[in-house]
């Protein structure tokens, strides 16, 4: 199955919620775990028990695993492998972006068939030019994986670049990223190139021609409500995947409580979507 087909099946089964797996030091401490690779592994195991087969997508944040060195990356590899066949897709949040042979290297690490850190999808940064992502896009196509390209993020610093006028004066740089992703989806017919658009503000983008998924960070602890996410992304041509990390993870460390928190938030999203029609 292609990434788009797997995502269709996951959302149909579990709804659109994406749960962020962000084992930052304060959260490890809050769960009574040590801030080392052993604590990280225990955290990952509880997240797997809670979310595999419960939500459509989980999004491990690579930085929180990398900070523990080789053992932390080994935990990440194990975490990604553990979701295979569960019906829950993995989206590795690494925001990779570079040029030439370096981008080839990232494609080998994350996206090619047999990639050691291969997830169902990977976040990418296009701010060295969308064309610089070609090795990653090609590798993802060949392996049946997806990518999510940063377009309009919720951090205030991003506006300086993302809201600048694109060359030629035809809209913002962020809109040009969306348009490039849409063109790629039209060319491959796979719908495997998504974009990242923050949900904490009105984004001002035309997403009607994307025909790919939109990852929407900001649900819950960052301030966006289910109703606001539904309203801000009405008319999007593709799955809208709201992300909650702290809003769900604060229910831990019990796996059952984590599962209940994710299911409750999924229910709120479904109710908001039903109320918008």
End-to-end CA distance of the chain: 31
What pLDDT was estimated at residue 190?
72
Tell me which DSSP letter residue 133 carries: G
Identified catalytic residue from 46, 48, 95, 232: 95
**Is the CB of residue 262 less than 8 Å from the CB of residue 235?**
no
Look at residue 156 and tell me whether its pLDDT is greater than 90. Answer: no
Look at residue 154 and tell me whether its pLDDT is greater than 70. Answer: yes
CATH of the domain at 204: 3.20.20.70
How far apart CA 27 and CA 132 sit, in angstroms, is: 36
Give me the residues paired with residue 20 across strands.
59
Query: What's the structural domain count of the chain?
Result: 1
Tell me which DSSP letter residue 212 carries: S
Average pLDDT over residues 146-161: 93
The answer to whether position 131 is within a domain reads yes
**Is the CB of residue 152 less than 8 Å from the CB of residue 198?**
yes
**Who has greater pLDDT, 168 or 248?**
248
Give me the residues paired with residue 215 across strands.
196, 241
The answer to whether position 64 is within a domain reads yes
* Residue 277 pLDDT level (bands cut at 50, 70, 90): low
Distances (CA, A) of 195 to 30, 47, 122, 215, 243: 32, 25, 11, 6, 13
**Burial of 159 per CB tally in 10 Å (0-12, 13-18, 19+):** middle
What pLDDT was estimated at residue 220?
74
The answer to whether position 79 is within a domain reads yes
Look at residue 41 and tell me whether its pLDDT is greater than 90. Answer: yes
95 is catalytic: yes
How far apart CA 87 and CA 11 sit, in angstroms, is: 10
* Residue 142 pLDDT level (bands cut at 50, 70, 90): very high
The answer to whether position 228 is within a domain reads yes
* Residue 223 pLDDT level (bands cut at 50, 70, 90): confident
pLDDT digits 0-9 by tens, 161-171? 999 999 877 79
Share of the chain above pLDDT 90, in %: 86
What pLDDT was estimated at residue 254?
97
pTM above 0.85, yes or no: yes
Q: Could you tell me the sign of the dihedral formed by the alpha carbons of 7, 79, 136, 175, in that order? A: positive
Domain residues for the domain of 214 are 3-270
The answer to whether position 117 is within a domain reads yes
pLDDT digits 0-9 by tens, 186-199? 988 778 999 999 99
The answer to whether position 275 is within a domain reads no
Average pLDDT over residues 14-23: 98
How far apart CA 243 and CA 142 sit, in angstroms, is: 27
In three-state secondary structure terms, 61 is: strand
pLDDT digits 0-9 by tens, 87-135? 999 999 999 999 999 999 999 999 999 999 999 999 999 999 999 999 9
């Amino acid at each position: 199955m292609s990434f788009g087909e797997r995502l269709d099946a996951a959302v149909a089964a579990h709804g659109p919620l994406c749960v962020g797996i962000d084992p930052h030091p304060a959260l490890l401490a809050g769960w009574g775990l040590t801030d080392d690779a052993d604590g990280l592994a225990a955290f990952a195991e509880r997240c797997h028990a809670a979310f595999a087969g419960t939500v459509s997508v989980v999004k491990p944040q690579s930085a929180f695993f990398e900070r523990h060195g080789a053992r932390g990356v080994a935990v990440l590899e194990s975490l990604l492998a553990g979701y295979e066949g569960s019906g829950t897709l993995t989206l590795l949040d690494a925001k990779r972006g570079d040029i030439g042979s370096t981008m080839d290297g990232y494609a080998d690490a994350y996206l090619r068939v047999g990639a050691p850190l291969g997830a169902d999808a990977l976040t990418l940064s296009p701010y060295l030019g969308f064309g610089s992502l070609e090795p990653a896009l090609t590798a993802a196509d060949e392996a049946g994986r997806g990518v999510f390209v940063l377009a309009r993020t919720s951090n205030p610093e991003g506006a300086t670049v993302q809201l600048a006028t694109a060359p030629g004066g035809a809209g913002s740089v962020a809109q040009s990223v969306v348009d490039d992703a849409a063109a790629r989806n039209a060319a491959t017919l796979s719908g495997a190139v998504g974009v990242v658009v923050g949900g904490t503000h009105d984004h001002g983008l035309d997403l009607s021609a994307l025909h790919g998924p939109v990852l929407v960070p900001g649900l819950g602890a960052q301030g966006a409500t289910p109703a606001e996410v539904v309203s801000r992304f009405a008319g999007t041509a593709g799955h809208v995947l709201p992300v909650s990390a702290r809003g769900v993870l604060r229910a831990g460390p019990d796996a059952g409580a984590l599962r209940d928190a994710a299911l409750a938030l999924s229910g709120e999203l479904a109710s908001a979507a039903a109320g918008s029609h």
